[in-house]
C-alpha cells in the first residue's frame, strides 16, 4: 500500500496577498494566521520615538545599517511572515532588503505590546525569532514603562538579557547600535 500524501494546509506568503487591504495586520507564524487591529495612539507615539532615536543615531554613522517601520512584510519563510513595529537591518545583511519586503531575519526586531498582541509577541514571536536568527528582540511594554531585551549569545542561544524600566532610570543600549543610548524616562514620558 503506497504511503498517503498529506497536503500542507498551512497558509503561505502568497496566500496573504489575497486578503483585503483593510488596515488590519496579518501575519503568518508556521502557516497560522494572526490578525490584529490597528494600534492605538500611545503605541504609535512610542514606535515613532524609537524610530526617530535610532534614525538620528544612524544619521551620524553611515554604513551601520537601516531602520524601518511597519507596515513592511518580513518574509522569514513561505509560512512565516511578520510585520514588526520596527526593525533594524545591519550593514552586513542589507541583501535581505528588496523593493517589496524584507527576505530574511533582521538583526533587530521591536514590538510594542498591546493587550491583543502581548501573548503572541512574548511567546510565539519570540520563539520564531530565536529559530530564524534574529540577533536581538525588544519588547516595549507601554503599560509598565519597560523594555525586555532578548539577545543571541555567542553560543547561538537566544536569552532575555535585560528588563529595563523608566522607574529605575534605565538606559537602553545595544551592541548592534554602538554608542546608541536611550533614557527610558524620556522615552516613556507622557506627551505634552
The answer, yes or no, to whether the previous bond of 17 is cis (omega within 30 of 0) is no
In sequence order, what DSSP letters do the residues of 101-161 get, joined into one string? -EES--SEEEEE--TTTHHIIIIIIHHHHHHHT-SEEEEEETTTTEEEEEEE-TTS-EEEE
CB 83 within 8 A of CB 120: no
Position 7 pLDDT exceeds 90: no
pLDDT in tens, 133-188: 999 999 999 999 999 999 999 998 999 999 999 999 999 999 999 999 999 999 99
Cell matching residue 86: 520596527
Every domain of the chain and the residues it spans: 40-187
Position 96 pLDDT exceeds 90: yes
pLDDT in tens, 18-45: 998 887 889 999 999 999 888 899 999 9
Instruction: Look up the pTM and report it.
Output: 0.92
pLDDT band (50, 70, 90) for residue 6: low
**CATH code of the domain occupying 40-187:** 3.90.1570.10
| pLDDT value, residue 145 | 96
Q: Which of 47, 9, 45, 44 is nearest to 30 (CA)?
A: 9
Amino acid at each position: 500500500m503506497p504511503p498517503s500524501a498529506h497536503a500542507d494546509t498551512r497558509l503561505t506568503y502568497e496566500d496573504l496577498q489575497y486578503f483585503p487591504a483593510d488596515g488590519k495586520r496579518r501575519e503568518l507564524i508556521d502557516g497560522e494566521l494572526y490578525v490584529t487591529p490597528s494600534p492605538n495612539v500611545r503605541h504609535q507615539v512610542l514606535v515613532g520615538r524609537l524610530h526617530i532615536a535610532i534614525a538620528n543615531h544612524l544619521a551620524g554613522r553611515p554604513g551601520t545599517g537601516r531602520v524601518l517601520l511597519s507596515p513592511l512584510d518580513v518574509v522569514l519563510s513561505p509560512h512565516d511572515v511578520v510585520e514588526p513595529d520596527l526593525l533594524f537591518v545591519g550593514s552586513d545583511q542589507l541583501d535581505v532588503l528588496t523593493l517589496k519586503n524584507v527576505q530574511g531575519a533582521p538583526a533587530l526586531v521591536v514590538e510594542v505590546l498591546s493587550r491583543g498582541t502581548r501573548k503572541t509577541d512574548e511567546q510565539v514571536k519570540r520563539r520564531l525569532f530565536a529559530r530564524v536568527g534574529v540577533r536581538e528582540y525588544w519588547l516595549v511594554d507601554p503599560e509598565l514603562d519597560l523594555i525586555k531585551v532578548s539577545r543571541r549569545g555567542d553560543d547561538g542561544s537566544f536569552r532575555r538579557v535585560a528588563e529595563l524600566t523608566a522607574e529605575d532610570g534605565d538606559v537602553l543600549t545595544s551592541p548592534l547600535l554602538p554608542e546608541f543610548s536611550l533614557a527610558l524616562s524620556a522615552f516613556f514620558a507622557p506627551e505634552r
